[in-house]
Amino acid sequence: MMKNKRIFGIKIFEIFALMGTYFLLSIVYHVTLWFNRPLEYRKSSDLFSPESWFDNEGLQYIIMFLATSIVWFFIFKVFRKYKLWQRLLLHLFGLPFFILCSWKLFYYICETYGYWHMGGTGQVWDIYIPTLIYLIQFSLLHAYEYYVINQYKMRYEVELKNAALKSELSAIKAQLNPHFLYNVFNTINASVPSEMEDTREMIAELSDLFRYQLKASREDYVTLAEELDFVNKYLKLEQRRFEDRLKIQMHVPDELLSRKIPPMILQPLVENSVKHGISPLVQGGEIEIMVRELAGKLIFEINDTGVGVQNKEQLFNLGVGISNTQKRLQKMYNSTLTFSDNVPSGLKVYFEL
């Protein structure tokens, strides 16, 4: 739809609305001036001709539109993150600029190319009218901006309420399923003969994974040590399947293990490396997890020596794990997942907390 299309981040319908407003104002002013010009001029000039419109202040309104666009760009785009009172102060510079363009620049162009403009005391109208237009239009533009922001906040609040409701339902389901499965795993583990120790260990590790998932559904943060222990147990289970084809390295300073992070933030990324990076290779590969601190932030890197990915954007379409991790990072830390090629092969995943 036209309302949603943009040029340089500006909605097309907003551009046409401003252009249409200036065109309408210029037509009204053109008609007013034409009927107040001498009879000789009216006989030699056609009210409806473009030349007559251009000569009767049409040029001035084109200049005002361009000046408005420049002031609008700085106040509503360049300085949009400033506080409202700071942006309002910018009009102390915008208004004189607008008046000089619609008055002095307009007169200069008229005198250069032989167009008509006000003279004598009539020049005051080329100061008063642009000032009035400037104040009215930017009052409306600020009001429109407030309306758009308010509408966005209302939609965002509705989305948050819906998300909170879905989260509550998911939390209830998450509390039921892991409890049931955890008890089933314990029952199966108890029935496995003692001589099948490897099988008993795998069931116990799988049970621990579900226990951690239950904890993750109840708590907003866990320690880095708990998250790495969960990831390590997951990788150990995968190693049973891949045997020597999967190698694992972790480089995490001990002093960072007590730091708090969101639960289940690493596992989807590690799972992606195993499933889409290492698994397709006959010879397997290596996964390296590194955590360090830089300028008060935790820096995470998950590197694999798998097949790699040509189109990094498609990673968000491989499943819900990576896309959900990206959304959590954006909402909680205003951070993002960064993907790059590993050397000599594979994928690097980088993010900050």
Looking at the structure of the chain, the number of domains it has is 2
Looking at residue 126, its pLDDT comes to 84
Does residue 281 sit within a domain?
A: yes
Does residue 176 sit within a domain?
A: no
Which two three-digit tokens encode residue 323?
């896309």
Q: Which of 56, 89, 117 is the last residue of a domain?
A: 117
Does residue 295 sit within a domain?
A: yes
Looking at residue 339, its pLDDT comes to 87
Looking at residue 169, its pLDDT comes to 60
Q: Are 244 and 284 in contact, with CB atoms under 8 Å apart?
A: yes
Judged by phi (left if over 0) then psi (alpha if -120 to 50, else beta), residue 333 lies in: alpha
Q: Which of 83, 117, 151 is the last residue of a domain?
A: 117
Q: What is the pLDDT along the chain (353 residues), one digit of tens a residue?
A: 444 566 656 677 677 777 777 777 777 776 776 676 666 666 666 666 666 666 656 778 888 888 888 998 898 888 888 888 999 999 999 999 999 998 898 888 888 887 777 778 888 888 888 899 899 888 988 898 898 888 888 888 888 877 776 766 665 555 545 555 555 555 565 556 666 666 666 666 666 666 676 666 677 788 899 888 888 888 887 887 777 788 888 899 999 999 998 888 888 888 888 888 888 888 888 889 999 998 888 999 999 988 887 777 777 766 667 888 888 888 888 888 888 888 888 889 989 88
Q: Which of 175, 227, 184 is nearest to 206 (CA)?
A: 184
CATH classification of the domain holding 303: 3.30.565.10
Does an H or E element contain 332, and which? Answer: helix 320-333
pTM, entire model: 0.46
Residue ranges of E strands in the chain: 6-7, 10-11, 222-223, 246-251, 260-261, 285-294, 297-304, 338-341, 347-352
Looking at residue 7, its pLDDT comes to 61
Looking at residue 96, its pLDDT comes to 92
Lookup result for tokens 């939609």 = 155
Looking at residue 45, its pLDDT comes to 66
Q: Are 346 and 308 in contact, with CB atoms under 8 Å apart?
A: yes
44-92 tens-digit pLDDT: 666 666 666 666 567 788 888 888 889 988 988 888 888 889 999 999 9
Strands 246-251 and 285-294: parallel
User: For the chain, what is the total number of helices (H) and then of strands (E)?
Assistant: 12, 9
Q: Which of 68, 90, 117 is the last residue of a domain?
A: 117
3-state SS, 84-151, equals HHHHHHCHHHHHHHHHHHHHHHHHHHHHHHCCCCCCHHHHHHHHHHHHHHHHHHHHHHHHHHHHHHHH
Looking at residue 2, its pLDDT comes to 46
Looking at residue 291, its pLDDT comes to 92
Domain limits for position 40: 2-117
Looking at residue 176, its pLDDT comes to 46
Does residue 234 sit within a domain?
A: no
Does residue 208 sit within a domain?
A: no
Q: What gap in Å lies between CA 285 and CA 77, rounded to an integer? A: 48
Q: What gap in Å lies between CA 160 and CA 35, rounded to an integer? A: 58
